[in-house]
Structure 1
């Protein structure tokens, strides 16, 4: 339970750097998508919003997972900033975590369910 109340700084890695890449433009999204769509590496996309309470609640947990699973790519997309990308992925609630491998969606977690998200990452990262 300690992770739930950690500060964002505590959730970062030992070097103090977050392993979550925030995407703020369609160009940045396109670059990330192009570089990972043919990869066998798991990518976890956090679709959230700054006004969303559950999104803020799970953010330190998501950052902690990114520091733990360094073999997985973690992205964060604000649905208000990049609504077209959110629509493309059929995001209807926040937070929504879309897990992608080889250009295909391989899993999805809707809501701030850290246990379910962790379970899916463990299953799909290999």
Structure 2
């Protein structure tokens, strides 16, 4: 594996990540955890790219926080954008949110190069990012109007609806596989939707379910709202962890009974 100078490496798998860290063991590493749907991440991806050009002695890598959940969870990533600085496998520091001045300062701190960023310029960048994010969030309402009607029908397509990665016979992630096993053990009839087959539904359902939580240039990646998502009678129950807890307490069995849903 070769990681070139001034190149941001795109991590594609856990094995890919391990190879990257090993190949860069003599360097400081900067990791950018992002999600495609989060506007702050889109902006910070550009900032991250500019920093990679400025600080060529540091190795930069992008990690899709949702698609590579195993890596995200190993670092306890619960928000995006999120940045981790490593050296020889050890965490040196972390930076959360869309904060160009802070990220620039941290990267410069661990770089051997002497680069003095313009504080005035950085503040303008940060202000611009917040304005762009605000405008995008405001304009989303009309953008999702028609999709909302479609999602309302989808979540009510069956009394129990599972939105998952893959299909029950061919799940595409460990969490989806586990929740399918749980539902099969309950012997409950359920419909499913493969969110990998429809990007519009995948992203739109997050808005529909009031996900994610937005807090000043940070998006929360709560386990409650990661896929898979289970709906009962059109209402969101939650993801794998929540469903497990509901079964443990008997809450989901009670919900099925009250809804007239048969299970064993």
TM bracket, shorter-chain basis? 0.7 to 0.9
Instruction: For 1:34 and 1:19, locate their aligned partners in 2 and report how far apart those are by CA, in whole Å.
Output: 16
SS at match of 1:45: strand
Picking from 28, 31, 43, the partner of 1:57 is: 43
TM-score (norm 1): 0.80
Bigger relative contact order (CA 8 A; separation at least 6): 1
Instruction: For 2:70 and 2:22, locate their aligned partners in 1 and report how far apart those are by CA, in whole Å.
Output: 17
Q: Is the 8 A contact 2:6 2:56 kept in 1?
A: no
1:25 and 2:47 equivalent? no
Instruction: For 1:112 and 1:42, locate their aligned partners in 2 and report how far apart those are by CA, in whole Å.
Output: 21
SS at match of 1:105: strand
Picking from 68, 72, 81, the partner of 2:54 is: 68
**What does residue 99 of structure 2 align with?**
113
- What's the Cα RMSD here? 1.6
Q: How does 1:71-86 map to 2 (within 5 A)?
A: 71-86=57-72
- Structure 2: which 5+ residue stretches go unaligned? 113-264
Structure 1 segments, 4+ long, off by >3 Å, are none
**What does residue 34 of structure 1 align with?**
22
**What does residue 94 of structure 1 align with?**
80
Number of matched pairs: 108
How far residue 69 of structure 1 moved from its aligned partner, in angstroms, is 0.8
Instruction: For 1:111 and 1:19, locate their aligned partners in 2 and report how far apart those are by CA, in whole Å.
Output: 23
Instruction: For 2:69 and 2:77, locate their aligned partners in 1 and report how far apart those are by CA, in whole Å.
Output: 9
Structure whose CA Rg is larger: 2
> What CA deviation, in whole Å up to 9, does each residue of 1:63-96 have, x standing for no partner?
1111111101000000111100000011110010
Instruction: For 1:53 and 1:18, locate their aligned partners in 2 and report how far apart those are by CA, in whole Å.
Output: 24
> What CA deviation, in whole Å up to 9, does each residue of 1:37-72 have, x standing for no partner?
x42x21000001111110001111111111111101
**What does residue 14 of structure 1 align with?**
none
- Structure 1: which 5+ residue stretches go unaligned? 1-16
TM-score (norm 2): 0.39
Instruction: For 2:86 and 2:38, locate their aligned partners in 1 and report how far apart those are by CA, in whole Å.
Output: 23
- Structure that is richer in helix per residue: 2
SS at match of 1:57: helix
